[in-house]
Amino acid sequence: MKYGRFEANGQSAYGIVEGDSIREISSAPFEEYSETGAVHRLDAVRLLAPVSRPGKILAMALNYGSHLHGARPPSRPEPFYKTSSSVAGPGDAVVLPPDSRRVDMEAELVAVIGKSAKNVSEVDALDYVLGYTCGNDVSEREWQSGADSDVQWWRAKSSDTFSPIGPYIVTGLDPTDIRIYGRVNGVEGQTCHTSEMIFGVAEAISFISRYSTLEPGDLLFTGTSGAPPSLKPGDVTEVEIAGIGVLSNPVE
């Protein structure tokens, strides 16, 4: 199933995407819903972030060997928080703060939690995932780990527009067998396969749920690979995941 959140005639709603149309539903797909009977052409609506205000966003640090650059791999999952106010949708601009110096994109698979998860086992963890979407964990490196870095990553990872997601939430994907591409201005800067994760989606969810209850609509960014490309005003970022689509955002 492919779900989208969209705006039509000044109103926002969720829908089920089939071909070139979207069938409106009565609520978010991680809630009970019914079809309203309204059908829209995809080219006649504006796609929005598939989750507008998640209760919380967690993101996996140091979760691909290619991103460690020689550092020792973590011995346990290392999630950190991003703020819900940093969410942006398809086509929304990533806005670079005026005093930022080096801002990178990070192409990632994002798991969307479908039901409340507390103390879940790794075996059962994926049962709590509604589906997956594309994500871009935009990161200001000087604030994150530069010579004058902040104690916390609050600016580096959660400045407004630093968490683009979309274009759709897709169910039924195998999170261990997905290829991810990151591009700037059409030039590929990242490519990886989710089998390269140090801690898979199930292991991450199980670990997090021991300490923090995951709720419907929460997001888990699952980590990035390699050496992500840096951004400047006028660039266009793309995160492409087979089966989900392309998340594209201009940079301002």
Tens of pLDDT, residue by residue over 84-93, are 999 999 999 9
Write down the pLDDT at residue 35.
Answer: 98
Write down the pLDDT at residue 131.
Answer: 98
Query: Are 132 and 175 spatial neighbours (Cβ–Cβ below 8 Å)?
Result: yes
Burial label, 242 (beta-carbon count in 10 A; 0-12, 13-18, 19+): exposed
Q: pLDDT confidence of 47, banded at 50, 70, 90?
A: very high
Mean pLDDT on 101-116: 98
Looking up tokens 């598939």 gives 50
Report residue 202 CA to chain centroid gap: 16
Write down the pLDDT at residue 190.
Answer: 97
DSSP character at residue 28: -
pLDDT at position 71 over 90 = no
Write down the pLDDT at residue 84.
Answer: 97
DSSP character at residue 173: -
The CB density around residue 2, as the number of other CB atoms within 10 Å, is 19
Query: Are 96 and 103 spatial neighbours (Cβ–Cβ below 8 Å)?
Result: yes
Domain boundaries, the chain: 1-47, 49-250
pLDDT at position 168 over 90 = yes
Looking up tokens 């991103």 gives 67
Rounded CA separation 214/171 (Å): 18
Radius of gyration of the chain from Cα atoms?
17
Write down the pLDDT at residue 163.
Answer: 98
Per the CATH hierarchy, to which homologous superfamily does domain 1-47 belong? Answer: FAH (2.30.30.370)
Q: What is the number of residues in the chain?
A: 252
Write down the pLDDT at residue 100.
Answer: 97
Report residue 214 CA to chain centroid gap: 16
- Do 1-47 and 49-250 show the same overall fold? no
Query: Are 166 and 47 spatial neighbours (Cβ–Cβ below 8 Å)?
Result: yes
pLDDT tens per residue, range 229-243: 999 999 999 999 999
Distances (CA, A) of 80 to 62, 125, 154, 211: 11, 19, 10, 13
Query: Are 50 and 168 spatial neighbours (Cβ–Cβ below 8 Å)?
Result: yes
As a whole-number percent, the residues of the chain with pLDDT over 90 amount to 96
Residue type, 179: R
Q: Regarding the domain delimited by 49-250, which CATH topology (the fold level of the hierarchy) does it fall under?
A: Fumarylacetoacetate hydrolase; domain 2 (3.90.850)
pLDDT tens per residue, range 192-213: 999 999 999 999 999 999 999 9
Write down the pLDDT at residue 46.
Answer: 98
Rounded CA separation 114/127 (Å): 8
